[in-house]
């Protein structure tokens, strides 16, 4: 009679951790979409004579990638600064989710999952801080 291997323990993400991570993703996505839609509407209203190809070629957010320029653009109501902010919120959302996951995995002493979350976080930061500026 063949023996069946013992079932692996079922590790389920705690309900509060799952709820918090889901909330972070939803809030981040909704916030980014609202900011981006507002920025797009304002940009199109301000630049109605520019065609799509010319708009893409200009890359309207490139001037607001520095914190000083972004803060000044937001303070003066520049649509391009709001587009940049929307993109940054969109990028920050999965990062916040990874950090939240790392916290919950470390708190529950799930070393393997904490290591995975740490690795994903490191890869995200390397991509953003090293590869991103290199490509720019």
The model's pLDDT over 38-92, given as tens digits with 9 standing for 90+, comes to 888 888 888 878 776 777 677 778 888 888 999 999 999 999 999 999 989 988 8
- Region 100-111: mean pLDDT is 88
Nearest residue to 59 (alpha-carbon basis) of 84, 32, 89, 31: 84
Has residue 6 been placed in a domain? no
How many structural domains is the chain composed of?
1
Has residue 122 been placed in a domain? yes
Distance CA 63, CA 60 (A): 7
* Domain ranges, residue 114: 15-135
0.85 exceeded by the pTM?
Answer: no
Has residue 66 been placed in a domain? yes
Higher pLDDT, 11 or 74: 74
Has residue 43 been placed in a domain? yes
Has residue 8 been placed in a domain? no
Query: Which residues, other chains included, contact 69 with Cβ-Cβ below 8 Å and sequence gap of 6+?
Result: 63, 81
Distance CA 75, CA 73 (A): 5
Has residue 7 been placed in a domain? no
Range among 14-18, 82-86, 131-135 rated most confident: 82-86
Q: Are 21 and 100 in contact (CB under 8 A)?
A: yes
Has residue 95 been placed in a domain? yes
Distance CA 124, CA 136 (A): 17
Has residue 116 been placed in a domain? yes
pLDDT above 70 (res 16)? yes
């Amino acid at each position: 009679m063949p023996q069946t291997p013992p079932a692996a323990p079922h590790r389920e993400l705690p309900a509060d951790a799952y709820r918090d991570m889901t909330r972070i993703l939803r809030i981040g996505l909704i916030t980014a979409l609202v900011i981006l839609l507002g920025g797009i509407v304002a940009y199109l209203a301000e630049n109605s004579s520019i065609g799509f190809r010319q708009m893409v070629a200009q890359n309207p957010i490139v001037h607001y990638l520095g914190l000083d320029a972004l803060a000044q653009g937001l303070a003066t109501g520049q649509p391009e600064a709001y587009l940049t902010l929307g993109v940054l919120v969109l990028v920050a959302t999965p990062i916040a989710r990874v950090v939240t996951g790392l916290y919950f995995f470390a708190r529950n002493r799930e070393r393997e999952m904490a290591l995975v979350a740490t690795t994903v976080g490191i890869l995200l930061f390397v991509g953003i801080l090293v590869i991103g500026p290199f490509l720019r």
